[in-house]
Structure 1
Amino acid sequence: MMEREALEFLQEQAIEAATETIQTDDNGHTFLVGEDTREFVPDDMPETIQVTTLSSVVDFVKESKDAISHGQLLVRVDGPRKVVVESTLDNYGRRARFLEARPVLDLMEFGHWYDREELTIALQSHFVSLAPEESREYDDKGTLLRFISAYQETDSNQVVDDGVSQTATVKTGAASVGTARVPNPVLLAPYRTFAEVEQPQSEFIFRMHEGMMGALFEADGGAWRSQAVASVKEYLNANLSRCGADVVVLG
C-alpha cells in the first residue's frame, strides 16, 4: 500500500514539473514558470555550528576556509549571551549563518526569595569577588555574606522596613545580639556573559522578610547588558584584528 502511495505521489510531482518551464533572466536568476511562477532558490545553506565560548568564535574565523571563501564575514554580538558569524547577502538576499556562540551559565534567579542557606550558596557560586572600592570597607559580596551569616530571627524580632531601607537583628558576639541596617544598594558582578570578558558590575536591591528569607532585585535598568556587549565586541575586535580575513564586528 505504501509503495502505491509513493508511486502516485511521484507521478503527481512529475506531472506538475512537466507543466513548468525554467527560464533565466539577464541577472542570472532562475525562475520556474507555470501556474505558480517563482524564483528557484537552491537549498545550499550550511548547517550552523553551535559553540559556547568566544575563543571558539575566534578560532573559527581564523581557521575555517569554508567561511572565508564566502568573502566578508559579519561577527554580530546579539546580546550579552549570543554571538553569530554570518556571510554577507548572497544573490537571493540570504546570509549563511556559519556559527552561533552561547555561553553555558548557571544563572541566579533575581526577584526570587531564598532561605539563608540557599542565598549563601548562591552568593558564593554565582558572583565574582570584586576588588574593594574606596568608599567601601569590603566588597559587597563579602558584606552580604557576613550580614546573612550574622542575621538572627527570634519570636520577638521583626525586620523594620521603611520602604527604602531595612533594619534587622544580627548576632554581634558569642551570646549577644544588636540591630544592623540591611546593606542597600549593593554592587555585585554576577556571572551572566561569556567567561573570556570581565563580568559587568551593577547595583542590586537586597530585601529580607520573615522566615530568614532574602532576595536580590536588579536596580540598574538593564545597563549591564550594554556594558557586556561592549566588552564582548572589544574582545572580538582585539583578537580578530590581525586574522587576515575580511571581518566586521557589529555590536
Structure 2
Amino acid sequence: MDMTRDALQYVVGLSEANLLTINGDTYTDKQIHRIDNELRAAAIEMNTLSSLIDYAKAFTNEMSDQMLVQVVSPTEVKLISCLDRDRKRECLVNVAAMVPEFSYGRYMDHESFIIALQSKFIPNDHRADLLRFAGTVKDESVAQYGDDGITQKATVKRGIASVEEAIVPNPVNLKPFRTFVEVDQPESAFIFRMKQSEGRGIECAIFEADGGAWKNEAMRNIKKYLGFALKELPQFTVIS
C-alpha cells in the first residue's frame, strides 16, 4: 500500500503545475520553487579573527565592491555580501570563537573551581583575592549562619594550625575567556557563593551579575579590532 502511494505521488510530481482562479485569486495545484539567478558558495568555517583578516586581504579582488563584516555575537562573525539580484546575501566566511567552557551559576567541587579560575580567567586583583580565599578555606567550614544573601562566612587557614573566620568576598570583578582571543576580554561583576554539601565537602559557584552587558562590550571590541585591521580596504564595512 505504501509503495502504491509513493508511486502515485511520484507520477503526480512529474506533471506540470496547473493554475486555478478562485474568487479572483490565482492558485497552483502543486508546490513549486523559484530558481535563483545567482550561484552562491558555501561559507568557509574559521575560528580566529586573524584568519578572517588574512582571507579578506588575500581574496579582495574576487569579492564584490561592497562587503559586510557582521559581528553577530561575542563568539561569531560573518563575512557577507550585499544584496544580489535575488535580494539575498552570500555568506563567504563564518568565524566561531573557541572559548573554554565554564558552568556559570552551577556549584562545583572546591578543587575544580580553583583549577577553572586559574585556567579560564585572565589574572586580575579580584581573581587573585578569590584564589587566595578559596585556596585557604578549611574543609567543612562554611558558616551558614550570618548568610544574608550577599555575604557568607567561612573558616580559613592561617599558617599551619591556626584558623580564623573570614567573610566570603562579594561581588568580584573577573575577566573570563568569553570571546575571541585577539580582543580584550570584558571584565564584569560576579556573585561568588560557597556551600557545604553532604558527602562532597565545600562547593563553589559564581553567578553573572552584569545583566549581559559584557556582550555589548565584547562586540564593540571585536568591531574596533576588525575596523582597524581592515581600514586600508574601504570595500569592507564592519557592523555589529
* TM-score strictly above 0.5: yes
Which of these residues, 141, 150, 162, is aligned with residue 136 of structure 2? 150
1:54 matched residue in structure 2: 49
Alpha-carbon deviation of 1:36? Answer: 7.2
Match of 1:164 among 150, 154, 160: 150
Pairing 1:197–2:197 present: no
In the alignment, the residues of structure 1 paired with residue 132 and residue 151 of structure 2 have an alpha-carbon distance, to the nearest angstrom, of 18
Shift in CA distance, 189/39, structure 1 to aligned 2, threshold 3 Å: same
Query: How many Å apart are 1:164 and its aligned residue?
Result: 1.3
Q: Which residue identity is paired with 1:219?
A: A
Shift of 1:64: 1.6
**Number of the residue aligned with 2:214:** 224
Q: Which residue is equivalent to 2:167?
A: 181
* Number of residue pairs the alignment of both structures matches: 221
Q: Match for residue 238 of structure 2?
A: 249
Report the alpha carbon displacement of residue 107 of structure 1 after superposing the two structures with TM: 2.0
Question: What percent identity do the matched residue pairs reach?
Answer: 38
Question: TM-score by structure 1 length?
Answer: 0.80
When normalised by structure 2's length, the TM-score is 0.83
Taking the aligned partners of 1:165 and 1:34, their CA distance within structure 2 comes to 69
Which structure shows the higher strand fraction?
2
| TM superposition shift of 1:153 | 3.0
Which of the numbers 122, 126, 144 marks the counterpart of 1:140? 126
* C-alpha distance in structure 1 between counterparts of 2:66 and 2:119, whole Å: 41
Corresponding residue of 1:206: 192
Structure 2: unaligned runs, 5 residues or longer: 1-5, 20-27
CA deviations on 1:93-143 (whole Å, 9 max, x unpaired) are 10001001011111211001011110011001110012xxxxxxxx01111
Q: CA deviation at 1:172?
A: 1.3
Structure 1 residue 173 displacement after superposition: 1.9
How far has the Cα of 1:157 moved from its partner? 6.1
Question: Does structure 1 conserve the Cα–Cα contact (< 8 Å) formed by 2:179 and 2:185?
Answer: yes
Alignment-derived partner of residue 22 in structure 2: none
Partner of 2:25: none
The Cα RMSD (Å) is 2.7
Displacement of 1:42 in angstroms is 3.9
Larger displacement relative to structure 2 (159-168 or 202-211):
159-168
- Provide the C-alpha distance between the structure 1 equivalents of 2:237 and 2:142, rounded to a whole number of angstroms: 60
Partner of 1:90: 84
Does the 8 Å contact 2:37/2:85 carry over to 1?
A: no
Q: Hey, what's the Cα distance between the residues in 2 that align with 1:232 and 1:181?
A: 38
- Per-residue deviation, 1:9: 5.9
Partners of 2:231 and 2:68 in 1: CA distance: 13
Q: Is the 8 A contact 1:168 1:182 kept in 2?
A: yes
